[in-house]
Amino acid sequence: MAASAPPEGSYNPKHKIMSLLDQLGGVLSNLTGGNLNEQETHQHFDQVAGSVPQNQLGAAIGPALANLDPSEVQQKVADSASQMNSQQRGNMIQTLLGGLGGSAGNLGGLLSQLGISPSVQNDPQSATPDDLGKLAAHAQSNAPDVFHQAMSFYSAHPTLVKAFGTVVLAGIARHLTKS
């Protein structure tokens, strides 16, 4: 006996998932196609960010940035951090420092080496956008797992992701299509 279709108006999770995938497919195709201006890219990214679970979005951000040169990561994270408040920057710095603490040993020395005031270790909210960019670039190069964990911060703040630019937004879209 063949399974019957659910009654009109009833909840069908499989249909909902397929509909979401169809909708996202078109948006992701536009994002990865590269022929959108910045405003259109931001609008499409808003659609994607609002349609995928936060944990999937968070898991796509680190890999999209990981393919960039550390100097590009430093600049893009600093640009994004300039739109954060001090508490958001502090939280991200704490995540990075917490992850690097085991591998770096002397965090004060590492911060000094990167040109960041060692006082940031005790007062993460005093970190500047440039400080966050430098620390993120260091983590990208030396502790990729820590970098990916810290970048998941952006899943709760998708508006800040837009500061990364169209290339990274397209990379996030590509990663989401592979998930």
**What is the Cα–Cα distance from 107 to 109, expressed in whole angstroms?**
5
Task: Tally the C-alpha atoms within 13 A of residue 118's C-alpha that lie toward its C-beta.
Answer: 7
pLDDT digits (tens, 9 = 90+) for 97-138: 999 985 545 888 899 999 999 999 999 999 999 999 999 999
Residue 84 DSSP class:
S
Q: Is 61 exposed, middle or buried (0-12, 13-18, 19+ CB in 10 A)?
A: buried
CA neighbor of 79 nearest in space, from 143, 165, 177? 165
Residue 15 confidence class, pLDDT cut points 50, 70, 90 = very low
**Exposure string (b/e) for 91-111, b if CB count within 10 Å is 16 or more?**
bbbbbbbebbeeebeebeebb
pLDDT digits (tens, 9 = 90+) for 16-32: 444 444 555 555 555 55
pLDDT digits (tens, 9 = 90+) for 160-172: 887 787 777 777 7
pTM score, whole prediction: 0.74
**What is the Cα–Cα distance from 105 to 111, expressed in whole angstroms?**
11
Please enumerate in sequence order all residues whose Cβ is within 8 A of that of 163, keeping only pairs 6 or more positions apart, or say none: 76, 79, 80, 82, 83
CA neighbor of 166 nearest in space, from 43, 81, 49? 43
